């Protein structure tokens, strides 16, 4: 079966209404129209859809022409819906579905605008679109966009070629969507999750003798309030220990009820209105918490009753997000953060050339520099000419690595004497002045494109969201570059 894109007519879109007097709307409209132009005229969208169709046909070799056409339609919508949602500050699926139904501009960009009707994807469809491709596939599209901008800027309507010769490195923390990991709060989370799951099972008619699940949730919430207020008392330590013992007894009872109901549902699920996959979802939800509950109880007793520290590698930070780490940054307002380390490298135009999200605890910044240089060489070839960064990336080994690769070292040295000597160079001084803007780029990515906080659950989904955000950010920057050049041309 051929994997060549099957030609088909796109639906005739409605004419966009003329909106006067709203500058913010016009700016957003111009951004979307330019991104649409970039995707279509550059051929990036067609190449991406063709690669997707080729991969899809490996799993469905006997697919009909109609099925291939439907795959192309949904793939195109998935690409554009993901970009539009991230441009709107990584909006939740439900809210974005409602906005998509109400906005002719978004309907036009996402390819669902038709003269006679508009079929808007549901929130579940939008969620499937978010994982339509794997992270390496989206990364390849982003790299291809940068390569096209460097080699053929006219295809992207850019005033100048994308600069791949200069890069500025920085690291940050992508915070997970969890509350502050207090030990006794983990016990509350376990109680709420298990009792809500038990409530679902009881609603299906499967019951053991027990108090209503809501009673346990109320009880644990009251104990949490007691624990919070115990800190301001004179005998706070004794009060905290007493309250924790009460919480531990409640959690032990809750765990026993949850185990019985899990076994009951596993044996008698056919008596409910659920299918087996639906029952498995509830079973998995209970099992995930029960598996970690003994360790969470032990951790709380060890820290509060015994006053012993728990090693970061052994500590449970969340019952729902296992692959998050304690990141000590020692910055104002965020001395310690909980999430994953994120490395990015931007060029002087503000485009992201290099990025990586770390599943495990990330190495020191100095050890990240060689792997970043190697990755950019794989992606773009040996075109890197200068590299900048803060003093965390400096080391004797890195100085030698950059010298051997004939890359200008714009990394701030750790030695004050060496820094004073290097500041005599105009090129080094220029790179250091520009490096400060990378902090702003980090803030834009985290606050605008990642979402605050990032809603994606699980490391694979967070990594995929980060790559989608980088692609959307680069398209957004290119749209701004093109608009600024057009404004200068009109002014001249």
- pLDDT band of residue 6 (cuts 50, 70, 90) is low
Instruction: Look at residue 4 in the predicted model and tell me its pLDDT.
Output: 57
Domains (range + CATH), the chain: 23-133 (no CATH), 142-178+322-491 (3.30.420.10), 183-305 (1.20.120)
Cα–Cα distance for residue pair 91/449, rounded to 1 Å: 9
pLDDT at 452: 77
Checking if the pLDDT of 7 tops 70, the result is no
**For 108-164, what is each residue's pLDDT tens digit?**
999 898 777 888 999 999 999 999 999 999 999 999 999 999 999 999 989 999 999
- Among left, alpha and beta (phi > 0; psi -120 to 50; other), residue 188 is alpha
pLDDT in tens, 52-98: 999 999 999 888 888 998 999 999 999 999 999 999 988 899 999 99
pLDDT for 8: 59
Cβ(268)–Cβ(147) below 8 Å? no
Would residue 407 be called left, alpha or beta, if left means φ above 0 and alpha means ψ between -120 and 50 degrees?
beta
In sequence order, what are the residues at sequence separation of 6 or more whose Cβ sits closer than 8 angstroms to the Cβ of residue 84? 32, 96, 100, 106, 109, 110
- Conformation bin of residue 487: beta by default, left when phi > 0, alpha when psi is -120 to 50: alpha
Pairing relationship of beta strands 386-389 and 166-175 according to DSSP bridges = parallel
Q: How confident is the model at residue 12 (pLDDT cuts 50, 70, 90)?
A: low
Q: What is the pTM of this model?
A: 0.91
Cα separation of 307 and 302, whole Å?
Answer: 6
């Amino acid at each position: 079966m051929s994997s060549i894109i099957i030609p088909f007519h796109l639906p005739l879109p409605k004419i966009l209404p003329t909106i006067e007097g709203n500058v913010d709307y016009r700016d957003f409209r111009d951004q979307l129209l330019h991104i649409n132009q970039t995707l279509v005229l550059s051929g990036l969208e067609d190449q991406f859809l063709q690669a997707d169709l080729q991969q899809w046909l490996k799993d469905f070799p006997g697919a009909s022409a109609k099925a291939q056409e439907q795959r192309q339609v949904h793939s195109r919508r998935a690409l554009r819906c993901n970009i539009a949602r991230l441009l709107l500050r990584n909006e939740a699926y439900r809210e974005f579905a409602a906005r998509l139904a109400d906005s002719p501009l978004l309907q036009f960009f996402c390819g669902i605008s038709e003269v006679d009707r508009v079929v808007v994807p549901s929130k579940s469809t939008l969620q499937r679109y978010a994982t339509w491709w794997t992270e390496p596939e989206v990364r390849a599209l982003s790299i291809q966009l940068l390569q096209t901008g460097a080699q053929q800027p006219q295809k992207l309507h850019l005033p100048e070629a994308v600069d791949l010769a200069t890069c500025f490195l920085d690291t940050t923390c992508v915070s997970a969507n969890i509350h502050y990991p207090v030990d006794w709060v983990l016990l509350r989370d376990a109680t709420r999750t298990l009792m809500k799951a038990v409530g679902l099972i009881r609603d299906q008619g499967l019951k053991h003798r027990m108090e209503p699940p809501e009673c346990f949730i109320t009880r644990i919430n009251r104990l949490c309030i007691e624990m919070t207020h115990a800190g301001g008392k004179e005998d706070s330590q004794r009060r905290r220990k007493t309250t924790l013992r009460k919480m531990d007894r409640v959690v032990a009872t809750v765990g026993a009820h949850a185990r019985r109901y899990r076994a009951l549902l596993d044996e008698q699920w056919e008596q409910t209105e659920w299918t087996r996959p639906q029952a498995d979802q509830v079973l998995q939800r209970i099992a995930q918490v029960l598996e970690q509950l003994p360790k969470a109880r032990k951790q709380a007793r060890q820290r509060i009753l015994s006053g012993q520290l728990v090693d970061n590698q052994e500590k449970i930070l969340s019952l729902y997000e296992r692959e998050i780490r304690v990141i000590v940054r020692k910055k104002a307002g965020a001395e310690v953060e909980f999430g994953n380390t994120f490395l990015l490298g931007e060029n002087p135009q503000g485009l992201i050339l290099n990025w990586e999200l770390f599943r495990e605890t990330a190495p020191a910044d100095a050890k990240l520099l060689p792997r970043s240089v190697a990755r950019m060489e794989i992606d773009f070839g040996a075109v890197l000419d200068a590299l900048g960064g803060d003093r965390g990336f400096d080391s004797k080994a890195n100085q030698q690595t950059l010298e051997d690769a004939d890359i200008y070292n714009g990394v701030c040295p750790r030695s004050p004497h060496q820094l004073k000597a290097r500041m005599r160079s105009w090129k080094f001084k220029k790179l250091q002045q520009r490096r400060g803007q990378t902090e702003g780029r980090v803030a834009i990515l985290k606050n605008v494109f990642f979402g605050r906080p990032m809603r994606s659950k699980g490391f694979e989904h967070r990594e995929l969201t980060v790559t989608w955000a980088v692609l959307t950010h680069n398209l957004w920057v290119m749209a701004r570059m093109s608009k600024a050049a057009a404004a200068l041309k009109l002014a001249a």
